[in-house]
Structure 1
Amino acid sequence: MRKARINVSGRVQGVGFRYMTKLVADQLGVYGSVKNEQDGSVTIEAIADNNTLDLFVEKIKHSPSPSGRVDNFSMIDDDTIKDSLKFNVTY
């Protein structure tokens, strides 16, 4: 399993972005979490096999929320992300 830390910014807070990210993660079988950051960005910790993670990333880049917009996207592999058996929205 691959573990990645993703940060997105743009119109990603107050538009249902976290909730829709969870729906996409649950549909694809991605584990991890999503949370808002104080700077207005959103951070996602994602755990999945390579193919599933690639598909998840493509959906996130195009904003899973119809009202959202991703202007900036960054992703790094991060083996320090704790294992999880579900995908959580963190507040």
Structure 2
Amino acid sequence: MTTQSKKERARLHLIISGRVQGVGFRFSAYDEAKELALAGYVRNLPNGDVEIVAEGSRENLQMLAAWAHLGPPSAHVAEVREEWSDFTGEFTDFQIR
């Protein structure tokens, strides 16, 4: 892997708040991540938020973050917290947990 392609890959941790559980958010996030060729996972948190951890191209991660601000039609997203970090290669595919 070249230094350039390493720079283009990243890890993104999102916490999405609002009406985001019981509205198909995880399944929509899964479809979106698969379409963007990202690896990682999405899961519901006990406090009612949804967490997404994804790795892949920075450009595709930015598209996932933009999608997360909207979510599926039945969701109401109040807040999205984003934390960017270095690509780790921890994941081989994207999963719903």
Report the TM-score when normalising by structure 1.
0.90
Percent identical residues = 28
What RMSD in Å do the two structures reach over aligned CA positions? 1.5
Gaps of at least 5 residues in structure 2 are 1-8
The yes-or-no answer on 1:34 pairing with 2:39 is no
The total of aligned residue pairs comes to 89
Report the TM-score when normalising by structure 2.
0.84
What secondary structure is seen at the aligned counterpart in 2 of 1:83?
coil
Partner amino acid, structure 1, of 2:95: N
Larger radius of gyration: 2
For the 8 Å contact 2:18–2:77, the answer to whether it is kept is yes
For the 8 Å contact 2:12–2:84, the answer to whether it is kept is yes
The yes-or-no answer on 1:9 pairing with 2:50 is no
Moved over 3 A (4+): 78-82
What secondary structure is seen at the aligned counterpart in 2 of 1:9?
strand
For the 8 Å contact 2:55–2:87, the answer to whether it is kept is no
Gaps of at least 5 residues in structure 1 are none
Partner amino acid, structure 1, of 2:27: Y
Counterpart of 2:68? 60
